[in-house]
Amino acid sequence: MTVQSSILSPDDLYLFHRGQLFQAYRTFGAHILEQEGVRGVRFAVWAPHARQVGVAGGFNEWRGERHPLERIGSTGVWAGFIPGLTEGAAYKYEIVGGDGSTRLKADPFAFRSELRPSTASIVSDLGRYEWADEAWRTRKREDPPYERPMFVYEAHLGSWRMDAPEQFRSYRELADELVDYVGSMGFTHIELLPLAEHPLDRSWGYQATGYYAATSRYGPPEGLQTLVDRCHRKGIGVILDWVPGHFCKDDHGLRLFDGTPLYEPADSRIAEKPQWGTLAFDFAKPEVQSFLISNAMFWLDVFHIDGLRVDAVASMIDLHFDKPPGLRACNRHGGTEHLEALEWLRKLNETVFLHYPDTLMMAEDSSAWPGVTAPTYLGGLGFNYKWNMGWMNDSLRYMETDPIERSARHSLLTFSMLYAFSENYVLPLSHDEVVHGKRSLLNKMPGAYEDKFANLRLFYGYWMAHPGKKLLFMGGEFGQFDEWKDAAGLDWPLLRYPLHDALRRYMKDLLGLYAAEPALWEQDHSPEGFEWIDADNAEQSVLSFIRKSRDGRRVLIVVCNFSRRHYPVFRIGVPTSANHCIIFNSDSEGYGGSGCRMPRRIKAVRTPLHGRPFSLELPLPALSALVLEPERIAAE
């Protein structure tokens, strides 16, 4: 049977080849439509070096020559219309390359894929879902994120809850269970590990084959729309991990798509990612730029995603990143910067913010590249947030140190404030820190069982009060003791044990305090919102500082004791003569702490200290974080 010819918009094809078609998923892929009064499916695929392209599927015994596509002039695009084909049909492109070899390839623009280990694409219509999140989207447009609380719950959908190996909760089930749990805890956002279709569970989605297909592991894509919609109706934003830096080499994927390096660079030194066994995208090709930027727009358009966490930016912008000498290339100026990747990142962010100015574009970047969150017109990369990997590494190294030895490593805690406002930072405690033998956050903490919990409560208190938005990987809120097991569910039975349940309550209350106190988030990106009281008390391993709201009416004093010593009397300088109330105490007996008696209010006296005209004395329990506020403010 001959495929009927199908006309694609010449303007769309022109923009695609210019790297300017930013909703290319509306042109390419499989689309159910009516042509000359006949309903069927239109196919379009970019394969410029192919001799022949056909659509193969169960409807033609997987023989693509029965439904050949037509080459559209010299565009390198093949298209056609198959009458009578309906939603749910499985298909691949049968591509005869320039060398005469034949390959069966999944559709790069497919909206749905078969459940692994099957690899075919599936005709799917994603336009039927009736959204009920207009109030959320309106509020988001009117209330930008920079001066709002942001405490993100990072989740891997497959292992959040699992009844048995590979028995995953569906998107629809998670729309109830996960969303209700995150809402009850007080997190403001959920960040989902990558959901683009991928062949290997253990890759966690970071090695994808279907960039436009939400993985079928958890059900049809409409289920993901339901999950996002319910998040929004609960007041929770959704961030998606997105991996535009590299793709896996599986035969049905993008590698050698038309028999030649098409999506990947022809130069293997630039293409190969030996650390992950993957291939980089060719950011110099305009068509690849259209493919990737359209993919970002697709998740925002079709799934109403609120933000993208762009994975592995450091590996994209450095031609030598984690490569052996034989795979190192230089740019046209002799440097190691990947100039095309840098320009593409700027173009990506400019495009996203032009259409969705309230989007969260977060760079997971371990490099020291300057201006990651600076505007592109000032030479920056144009993201609005960057993960602060330096803070994460330094603070975890400090916390893993025995308290007896912490005084020698005091600068690991204070160094972050030298650069805290150089970018718009997120402080991540992510999945990467609790796998591959790194141990869980709780098990990183030194000491006996009770000490581990005290250290973790202290650390969470310090983290909450440090400038920057926050991200926590699932399980950290109740003290997952083993490191993350991606093939099994979280250890929810731990909540039967008092200290784990107390830690969960502690986190819920900490999130409540965080959300209620503008001093803790309004000036995250401004030095006016932070003042040291005493940054240099290494001998006693104590930090004290002030956080302030934008209008100055909310002022909080934070004191963190990282030693095992209890100080019955500890003096700090304060700016006013007001009495101070302790409004949060990580050592509270209700959280599993020592229950040391604390005064209801503490009177400041006119004794200068730490450059302040007044000071106050307070008991300071071992391994504790205290938050105080002036009594006048507390009364208000």
- Residue of 235, 281, 233, 277 whose CA lies nearest to 261: 281
Range 263-288 average pLDDT: 97
Q: Is the pLDDT of residue 7 over 90?
A: no
- Residue 76 inside a domain? The answer is yes
pTM: 0.96
Range 167-196 average pLDDT: 97
pLDDT of residue 494: 98
Between CA 377 and CA 371 the distance in angstroms is 11
> 448-482 pLDDT, tens per residue?
999 999 999 999 999 999 999 999 999 999 999 99
Higher pLDDT pick, 1 / 630: 630
Check if the beta carbon of residue 320 is closer than 8 Å to that of residue 326: no
Average confidence score pLDDT of the chain: 96
How far the first Cα of the chain sits from its last, in Å, is 78
Q: Which two tokens stand for residue 51?
A: 């001799």
pLDDT of residue 600: 87
Residues annotated as part of the active site: 311, 364
Range 588-604 average pLDDT: 94
pLDDT of residue 1: 38
Stretch (H or E) spanning 506? helix 498-516
- Residue 20 inside a domain? The answer is yes
Characterize the bridge pairing of strands 102-105 and 90-96.
antiparallel
- Residue 371 inside a domain? The answer is no
Range 71-77 average pLDDT: 95
Range 219-231 average pLDDT: 98
Establish how many alpha carbons lie within 13 A of residue 603's alpha carbon, considering only the half-sphere containing its beta carbon: 2
- Residue 227 inside a domain? The answer is no
Between CA 348 and CA 338 the distance in angstroms is 15
Range 229-256 average pLDDT: 97
- Residue 531 inside a domain? The answer is yes
Domains held by the chain: number: 2
pLDDT of residue 2: 41
Q: Which of 71, 93, 122 is the last residue of a domain?
A: 122
pLDDT of residue 459: 98
DSSP-assigned letters across all residues of 529-553: GEEEEES--TTTTEEEEEEE-TTS-
Q: Is the pLDDT of residue 3 over 80?
A: no
CATH of residue 50? 2.60.40.10
pLDDT of residue 166: 86
> 358-399 pLDDT, tens per residue?
999 999 999 999 999 999 999 999 999 999 999 999 999 999
Which range of residues forms the domain containing residue 617? 527-635
- Residue of 272, 264, 270 whose CA lies nearest to 288: 264
pLDDT of residue 145: 82
pLDDT of residue 403: 98
pLDDT of residue 634: 52
Q: Is the pLDDT of residue 5 over 60?
A: no
Per-residue pLDDT band for 6 (boundaries 50, 70, 90) equals: low
> 134-180 pLDDT, tens per residue?
999 999 988 888 889 999 999 999 999 998 888 999 999 999 999 99
DSSP code at position 521 = T
Range 190-198 average pLDDT: 98
- Residue 417 inside a domain? The answer is no
Q: Which of 104, 122, 140 is the last residue of a domain?
A: 122
Q: Which two tokens stand for residue 49?
A: 């070096």
Q: Is the peptide bond before 165 cis (omega within 30 degrees of 0)?
A: no
Q: Which of 122, 144, 176 is the last residue of a domain?
A: 122
- Residue 465 inside a domain? The answer is no
For residues 484-512, b (16+ Cβ closer than 10 Å) or e, as one string?
Answer: beeeebbbeebeeeebbebbbebbbbbbe
Between CA 575 and CA 213 the distance in angstroms is 56
CA 480 to chain centre: 20
At residue 438, the 3 state secondary structure works out as coil
> 420-446 pLDDT, tens per residue?
999 999 999 999 999 999 999 999 999
User: Across 58-115, where does the E strand assignment appear?
Assistant: 70-71, 77-83, 90-96, 102-105
At residue 13, the 3 state secondary structure works out as helix
Check if the beta carbon of residue 410 is closer than 8 Å to that of residue 455: no
CATH of residue 599? 2.60.40.1180
Check if the beta carbon of residue 21 is closer than 8 Å to that of residue 294: yes
Stretch (H or E) spanning 378? none
Q: Which two tokens stand for residue 440?
A: 């869980």
- Residue 401 inside a domain? The answer is no
Total Cβ atoms within 10 A of residue 142: 8
CA 188 to chain centre: 14
pLDDT of residue 176: 96
Between CA 128 and CA 98 the distance in angstroms is 40
- What percentage of the chain carries pLDDT values higher than 70? 98
pLDDT of residue 633: 55
> 95-138 pLDDT, tens per residue?
999 889 999 999 999 999 999 999 999 999 999 999 999 999 99
> 289-304 pLDDT, tens per residue?
999 999 999 999 999 9
Task: Give the orientation angle of helix 286-302 with respect to helix 339-355, to 10 degrees.
Answer: 30
- C-alpha dihedral sign at 329, 335, 336, 337: negative
Q: Which two tokens stand for residue 397?
A: 């190294």
